Amino acid sequence: MASTPPSRLRQGLIAGLKIAVYAAVVGVVALGVAVSVAVSQLPSYAELIRRDDLGQMIRVRSADGRVIHAMGPSFGEWLSHDEIPPIMREAMVAVEDRRFRSHPGIDPIGIARGIWVGFSQGDNIRGVSTITQQLARNIFLSNDRSFARKTREGILALALEWRFSKDQILELYLNRVYFGGGAYGIDAASRRFFGHSATELSTAEAAIIAGLVKAPSNYSPTADTEAARDRAAVVLDLMVRNETITAEQAEAADPDRIEFERSDGQQNSARYFTDWVLPQLDMLIDETVHPIDVWTTIDLGMQRAADAAVNAHTPQGAQGALVALDRDGAVRAMIGGRDYVNSIYNRATQATRQPGSSFKLFVYLAALESGHRPDAVVQDAPITIAGWSPRNDNGRYVGAVPLRAAFAYSINTVAVRLAQDVGTRTVADMAQRFGITSRVNTNPSMALGTSEVRLIDMTRAYAAVARGGVGVTPYGIRRVTTADGTLLYQHEDDEERVLVQPWVAAQMTDLLQGVVEHGTGRAAALGRPTAGKTGTTTSNKDGWFIGFSSGITTGVWMGRDDNRASPGLAGGRAPARAFHDFMMRAVANRPVEPFVTEAAAPDWMIAEDEEFWFTPPEDDPLVDPDGYAIEPAPQPTFEEPRPEGPGPRKEPAPPPERRDPIDRDRTDRERTGRERIDRDWLERVIDRPPRREPPPRRLPRSDRERAPGD
C-alpha cells in the first residue's frame, strides 16, 4: 500500500523551521562578524582612560594653587578598580545592573522584562541597558532613542566584554559616567558634593552617588538635595535586596544626615575675575582638547576683604566695584558688583562712568610734564570758556593758591586753567598714554572728568604713577599648564614702557600723597605712606577713590546702574572708606614703603631764573589749614622825610650799588657751584656784548619839590 504524502501544513512548518535556522545561523555569523570588527576597532584601555572625548576641562586656580572655578567636565582623579571602595562598586551594580557579573554584555532577562513591562503598560521598551551598554553609549554613541542606536549599542557592549574584563569595564564606567554638577566620575562627584576623595565614601554617600546616574539633572544635590536623599533611600533598599548590605546597615546609613559641600561667597565674588580672564585663553594658547590648569594672580584673602569692604560701604540701592593691582599689574582682587548671583555684569571691567575729579590726575601730569611745579602759585578765580563757567564745590574762590593745595582740595577752576594752559588735547593724549581705552573728549569740561572711563583703566593709570612712570598692564593669568604640568604659557612683565619721566611721577606722587594727608581723601589714610585721589560726579551719581600704598594700587567705584543720584555719595566718603578697609588687610603683611617724591629734574626745571619764576612771600602762608585764602600782611610804605626848616633840601639816599651781571653770576657760581641760566648767561654764551643796566629812575623835579600835603 502506498505511503500518504505529507500534508502541506507539515511541509510549511518544516520549511519555516529551516528558514529560521538558516536566519539564526546567518544572524549569529553576522553578529560574530560585527562584534569581531568592533573589537578590532576598539581603542586600547590606555586611550579610554584619557577621557579626552568628554570635552576639555579647564580648572582656574588662585595665586596659592587652590581651584576657584572649573569649566567643562570635572574629572577628579582616576581610581583603579581596587582603589574604588567596594561599597561604591556594589551600590552601582545593585541599582544599575544586578546581573552584571553573569551576562555577556547584554542581559536577555532584562530585555525580556523590559519588553513585557513596556507592552503591559502601553509604553516604550525601557530599563534594558546594562552597565556595559551604558559605557558603550557613553564612549561611542549619542543618546537618541532609536532601534539602530540600540543595535549598535548591543554590538559594542559585546565587543567590550570580549576585549576587557568585568573589573576593567566597571572601572571605566565609574570613572567616566556623568553624575551632575559638571562632575564626571565618582572622584569628581565625591569632591563636588562631599568635599573629599571618593576613596573615603561612606555607605550613605555611595548610595547618593549611585542614585544620580538615572537622572543627574533631577537628583543632583546641586539641583535638589531632598531628591538626592530620597533617591539614595531607594538605592539602599536595592542593596538590601541584592544582599550587599543588611537591613540594619541600610538603616544606619541614613542619607538625611549627610552634609553636602556648599559654595561660599568667596567663590561667588571670584566669578567676576574668572569671567574676565577665561576669554583671554583664546589669545594665549591653542590647546582646546586636553585638560588645562590656569594659574591666576587672584589672592583669595584679598578677594574676601574686597568683597566685605564693598558690601559694607556701598549705599543702599547702589552698586560697587573694586580692582586691586600689584606693582607689576597682577590683579589681586576684583569685585564687579555686590552679588554675582544677582548680577553678572562686571562694573570693574565693562562699565564706563564719569570719573569726576579722579581724572585730574591726567591734567596735573600734563601740567607737570610741561613745566609747572608743585609749589608754583596758581589762581583760583572765576573763569569762563565759550560760555561755560566751572565752579568749585563750595561755591567760593580763594585766589592765589599753591598747585599742591589746589590738587589736594580738588579746586575745579585751577584744573580747568591748567588744562587750558597745556591744551585739552594734551590732557587727552596723556590719559590715553596711561591706558584709558575709552574715548576722551577735548571739551573744556574734560578737565573735571566728564569723559566716561572704566575702573580697571583708571586703576592701571594710578598704578603706573606708583611704579615711577613705567606702564602697567593688568593681567590675571600667570601661566597655563596641561594636567601633567606641561607649560603652555608664561606671563612676562614689561618694564621698558616708560610713560613719563621719573621726576614727573615723583612730583605727581607728592601731590597724590597730599590728598590723603590733608585733602579730600583723609578717610583713606592707612597709617603708612598712602597716595590717592577722590572723584565725585554731578549730583553724587558716581563716587571714586583710587590710590596706592606698599605696592598695591586699588580703585573703588560706587554708583547706581540707572545713573540716578545717590544722596551722600562722594569719593571722599564711602569709596575712600572701602579703600581703607580693604587696604588695611591687603598691605598688612607688606613692609612700609616710603614714596619717592623727589627725582632729578631737568636743568630747566632747577634753574632759579628770577625773570620767569614767581616766588611767593615767605612771611605769610597763602592758605590756612583748611585751604582758604589768607590776606597777606600789608607792605610798609616809605615816605621821603619832610624838611623841618629852611635850608637846603636833602637829596634822597642813592640806590644800593648794583653789581655787574658778570660779577653777580660769578658770585652765584662760587656759592652754588651752578651757573645762573638767565638772559646775561645767554648773551655771554652767544658772544653778545653784556647789556647795560639802565640808570635808576629819578622823580621829576616838580614831584621832588612838591610840598607834602599838596
**Active-site amino acid positions:** 96, 357
Q: d(Cα 337, Cα 676) in Å, to the nearest integer? A: 57
Cell reading at 317 = 540701592
Amino acid identity of 242?
N
Task: Pick the closest to residue 352 from 448, 274, 437, 444 (CA basis).
Answer: 437
The backbone torsions φ and ψ at residue 180, rounded to the nearest 5 degrees and listed phi first, read: 95, 165
Cell reading at 359 = 581724572
CB atoms within 10 A of CB 109: 11
Q: d(Cα 540, Cα 315) in Å, to the nearest integer? A: 11
Q: d(Cα 639, Cα 583) in Å, to the nearest integer? A: 62
Classify burial at 56, counting beta carbons within 10 Å of its beta carbon; exposed 0-12, middle 13-18, buried 19 or more.
middle
Measure the CA dihedral 301/307/312/318, to 10°.
160
List residues bridging with 487 in a β-sheet.
481
Amino acid identity of 333?
A
Quote the distance between the C-alpha of residue 668 and its chain's center. Answer: 56
Going by their DSSP bridges, the two strands 292-296 and 58-61 should be labelled as parallel
Q: d(Cα 577, Cα 561) in Å, to the nearest integer? A: 21
Which letter does DSSP use for residue 470 in this model? B
Cell reading at 425 = 588735547
The backbone torsions φ and ψ at residue 399, rounded to the nearest 5 degrees and listed phi first, read: 80, -135
Q: What is the CA radius of gyration of the chain?
A: 42
Buried b (16+ CB within 10 A) or exposed e, 92-107: bbbbbbbebeebebbb
List residues bridging with 71 in a β-sheet.
58
The dihedral region occupied by 563, where left means phi > 0, alpha psi between -120 and 50, and beta the remainder, is left
Cβ atoms of 190 and 198 within 8 Å: the answer is: yes
Q: d(Cα 610, Cα 349) in Å, to the nearest integer? A: 49
Residues in the chain: 710
Q: d(Cα 336, Cα 556) in Å, to the nearest integer? A: 10
Which letter does DSSP use for residue 97 in this model? -
Q: d(Cα 676, Cα 610) in Å, to the nearest integer? A: 10
List residues bridging with 534 in a β-sheet.
545
Question: Residue 380: in which H helix or E strand, if any?
Answer: strand 377-380
Q: d(Cα 630, Cα 668) in Å, to the nearest integer? A: 34
Cβ atoms of 85 and 198 within 8 Å: the answer is: yes
Q: d(Cα 634, Cα 229) in Å, to the nearest integer? A: 89
Cβ atoms of 71 and 173 within 8 Å: the answer is: no
Task: Pick the closest to residue 546 from 425, 458, 623, 630 (CA basis).
Answer: 458
Task: Pick the closest to residue 431 from 366, 362, 370, 497 (CA basis).
Answer: 362
Vertex 335: Cα angle to 329 and 340 (nearest 5): 140
